[in-house]
Amino acid sequence: MNQGILVLNSGSSSLKFGVFTTRDGDEHAWLSGSAQGIGRESGSWSMKSSDGRFDVSQDHLMETQHDALQRIADALREQLDARDAPLVAVGHRVVHGGPHLREHCEITDAVKQTLHEAVPFAPLHLPPSLALIDEAQRIFAGVPHFACFDTAFHRTLPERATRFALPHEYAQRGVVRYGFHGLSYESIVNVLGADLPSRTVIAHLGSGASLCALQDGRSVDTSMGMTPAGGIPMATRSGDLDPGVLIHLLRHASLDADGLETLVNRQAGLKALSNSDDDMRALLARSDRGDADAALAVDVFCTAVRKTIGAYAALLGGLDLIVFSGGIGEHSDAVRSRVLDGLAFFGAAHRVVATEEERQIARHCRRLLSS
């Protein structure tokens, strides 16, 4: 077996991973798994090999990402030793590189310092990412670690898409649109290959959700902005708001900056509209039972996706293909149907494509190793 690349993809309460090796000129996961429910009594972790020789799943309380990583590392070492398959690199998904890190790169002390300086651009995402990188470098010492940024795919955005209508000095400070879910979008471009038409809109719909307009495979616009809180409403994120709403809340709702951050990231979106649920499956079930709040949340979400697709069709001068991905996009026929309702006049095809973020990270790491 050739040399493996470990990929770590962390979420707020989960840690997905895979060990990738090359076959037929591309990356393939021979070992994959995840830790779910980190910090909860209902936590669990699982790992399986692509050849079926190893498959384990256990319920286990993991207090932190560090605990989850250590448990994964212990099991992983046994499999690597048994198959004489040494790791040659570790790849990390990093949501935001800030204004100065827009290319995937090896993680050096200087890169980590730049990421620490970028924390104000992603205060909810970068601190846990940096902590996990430190722990992974301790556990998997002696091999290079690489940062792969969700923002990198959107480097092709034209200035008209990146600039906010604010004084130029703010753009110089990095207050611009970066876009996210780039590793997902890039993986879909790879999957479609020659079948990717010129004018495509990809809807990555999950707990975090965004859309991207692609012209000849390049990102030309995307719904998320300077942070992953922008764009369409999401599970617990507000999406775009009238700036006057935030000013009003600062003045009249006794909210400070931290309170606003909590509101727009954790207490808004589908959860707020439905008065409780942020899971689309639960909302659809409630809606089918006649729950008006759940029906409103679903309607707001699907309408926002449909409106964004329409806007991107105008930007692209027409539309050839709509791609659905992400947990909701891949698995909810009801949401896809509601989004597509009213878009038939575009004459665009539509299809579902599973995102392969970990595989895309492995591709970048292998390229960086040989560069």
Residues 266-292 have pLDDT tens digits of: 999 999 999 999 999 999 999 999 999
DSSP state, residue 119: G
Percentage helix, strand, coil for the chain under 3-state DSSP, each rounded to 5: 45, 20, 35
In the annotated binding site for Mg(2+), the residues are 9, 357
For the annotated binding site for ATP, the residues are: 16, 204-208, 279-281, 327-331
Q: What is the pLDDT of residue 56?
A: 85
Query: 193-352: which CATH topology?
Result: Nucleotidyltransferase; domain 5 (3.30.420)
Q: Are 200 and 186 in contact (CB under 8 A)?
A: no
- Residues with catalytic function: 150
What is the CA 132 to chain-centroid distance, rounded?
Answer: 17
Closest CA to 65 of 38, 88, 44: 38
State phi, psi for 35 to the nearest 5 degrees. -110, 130
User: Collapsing DSSP states into helix, strand and coil, what is residue 125?
Assistant: coil
CA distance 323 to 204: 8
* Residue 189 exposure: Cα atoms within 13 Å on the Cβ side: 20
In three-state secondary structure terms, 351 is strand
The 10s digit of each residue's pLDDT in 69-120 is 888 888 888 887 777 778 999 999 999 999 999 999 999 999 999 999 999 9
- The CATH T-level fold of domain 4-149 is Nucleotidyltransferase; domain 5 (3.30.420)
Q: Cα separations (Å) of 299 from 170, 204, 232, 233?
A: 35, 17, 12, 11
Strands 26-36 and 14-23: antiparallel
Measured in whole angstroms, the distance separating CA 328 from the mean position of its chain's CA atoms is 13
Distance CA 73, CA 69 (A): 6
- E runs forming strands in 111-240: 145-149, 199-205, 209-215, 218-222
pLDDT recorded at residue 351: 98
CA atoms within a 13 Å half-sphere pointing along the CA-CB vector of 79: 25
Structure tokens at 190: 């790879």
Which residue pairs, CB below 8 angstroms and at least 24 apart, start in 278-283?
A: 278/207, 278/235, 278/236, 279/235, 280/235, 280/328, 280/332, 280/335, 281/332
* Token pair for 47: 């790992």
Annotated binding residues for substrate, as ranges?
93
pLDDT of residue 12: 66
Q: Which residues are annotated as a binding site?
A: 9, 16, 93, 204-208, 279-281, 327-331, 357
Domain 4-149 matches domain 193-352 at the CATH topology level: yes
With CA atoms as reference, report the closest residue to 283 among 299, 267, 268.
299
Q: What is the model's pLDDT at position 67?
A: 85
User: CB–CB of 104/364 below 8 Å?
Assistant: yes
Amino acid identity, position 252: H
Domain ranges of the chain: 4-149, 193-352
Give residue 346's Cα distance to chain centre: 28
DSSP classification of residue 195: G
pLDDT tens digits in sequence order for the chain, 371 residues long: 578 999 999 876 688 999 999 999 999 999 999 888 887 777 888 899 888 888 888 887 777 888 888 888 888 888 877 777 789 999 999 999 999 999 999 999 999 999 999 999 999 899 999 999 999 999 999 999 999 999 999 999 999 999 999 999 999 999 999 999 999 999 999 999 999 999 999 999 999 999 999 999 999 999 999 999 999 999 999 999 999 999 999 999 999 999 999 999 999 999 999 999 999 999 999 999 999 999 999 999 999 999 999 999 999 999 999 999 999 999 999 999 999 999 999 999 999 999 999 999 999 999 999 98
- Strands 4-10 and 87-94, sheet pairing: parallel
**pTM: predicted TM-score of the whole model, two decimal places:** 0.95
Q: Are 225 and 177 in contact (CB under 8 A)?
A: yes
Q: Which residues contact 266 (CB under 8 A, 6 or more apart)?
A: 236
Short-list 81, 94, 103, 79, CA closest to 136 = 94
Q: Residues with Cβ < 8 Å from 216, sequence gap 6 or more?
A: 198
Place of tokens 């090796």: 21
Return the pLDDT at 44.
Answer: 86
- Residue 38 is predicted with a pLDDT of 81
